[in-house]
């Protein structure tokens, strides 16, 4: 597994996203992923699956020190007391003594505690040794800049939606300048890339699937990690098989195709019950 060096920390370039994974399927997926070599696992309090993720971690024969484990604060847990208590609850559910990274899931809204209070409490968890690093999710460059100003501990990552249809170049430029990791969720545009003509054509050249090309496109960009969700062994294995080929500069530029309509359409389809 390739890693990305950020702020002196090695982060696996490819991780397992667990959004919408629940019950025994979640536990089995985490265990299988770790058996296959995944070492970066992402969850969130809002996903309601931390306990199941923890059972998967427990079942796998992997040393805790070799993992990069991430969870995110729910919107209801932004005041200092809730940050501390909910994080300890997350640790209990995950069956671990510490988190590699704790994120703010979405920017604080006016009816939540101030961002400074949330970050101060997260800094306290770092000082206690319960959290190694802190970060944010779904923050724009301006919001990320503000969080970095308010936090004594460095902001290690900003986890955002990023795929060929969703342009994040402004944020990525900011992250590179300030040594912040950009972690890409929904890297396959919720399945939208699977029939993309450009990705199919590029994939045919390399003997790879469109999904593998999309993931390679992300991790080949400096300072970008990707956390695709997968549940079957075949998909988990396929997602891992992206480090044995390289895209050309022309292919990298051709694949980038920002489209808000495609992004919105795939999101809506992913919410349908059929």
Residues involved in catalysis: 47
Burial grade of 48 (CB within 10 A; 0-12, 13-18, 19 or more)? middle
The per-residue b/e assignment along 191-224, b for 16 or more CB within 10 angstroms, e otherwise, is ebbeebebbeebbeebebbbbbbbbbbbbbbebb
Question: Contact at 8 Å (CB) between 91 and 97?
Answer: yes
Instruction: Give the pair of three-digit tokens for residue 149.
Output: 């100003």
- Distance between CA atoms of 149 and 161, rounded to whole angstroms? 23
Instruction: Give the pair of three-digit tokens for residue 272.
Output: 């349908």
Which residues have CB under 8 Å from 45's CB, separation 6+?
Answer: 71, 72, 73, 74, 77, 86, 90, 105
* Phi and psi angles of residue 207, each rounded to the nearest 5 degrees, phi first: 70, 35
């Amino acid at each position: 597994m390739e890693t990305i060096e950020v702020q002196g920390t090695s982060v696996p370039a490819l991780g397992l996203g667990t959004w919408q994974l629940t019950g025994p399927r979640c536990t089995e997926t985490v265990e299988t992923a770790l058996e296959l070599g995944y070492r970066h696992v992402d969850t969130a309090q809002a996903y309601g699956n931390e306990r199941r993720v923890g059972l998967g971690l427990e079942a796998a024969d992997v040393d805790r020190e070799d993992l990069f484990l991430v969870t995110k604060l729910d919107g209801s847990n932004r005041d200092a007391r809730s940050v501390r208590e909910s994080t300890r609850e997350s640790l209990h559910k995950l069956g671990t003594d510490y988190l590699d990274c704790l994120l703010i899931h979405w920017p604080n809204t006016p009816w939540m505690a101030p961002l400074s209070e949330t970050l101060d409490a997260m800094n306290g968890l770092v000082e206690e040794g319960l959290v190694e690093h802190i970060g944010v999710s779904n923050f724009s460059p301006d919001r990320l800049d503000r969080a970095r100003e308010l936090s004594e501990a460095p902001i290690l990552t900003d986890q955002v939606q990023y795929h060929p249809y969703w342009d994040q170049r402004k944020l990525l430029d900011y992250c590179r300048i300030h040594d912040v990791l950009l972690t890409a969720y929904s890297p396959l545009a919720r399945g939208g890339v699977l029939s993309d003509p450009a990705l199919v054509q590029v994939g045919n050249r390399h003997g790879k699937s469109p999904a593998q090309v999309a993931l390679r496109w992300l991790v080949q960009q400096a300072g970008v990690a990707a956390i695709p969700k997968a549940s079957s062994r075949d998909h988990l294995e396929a997602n891992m098989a992206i480090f044995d080929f390289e895209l050309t500069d022309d292919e990298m530029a051709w694949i980038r195709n920002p489209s808000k309509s495609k992004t919105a359409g795939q999101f809506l389809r992913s919410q349908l019950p059929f």
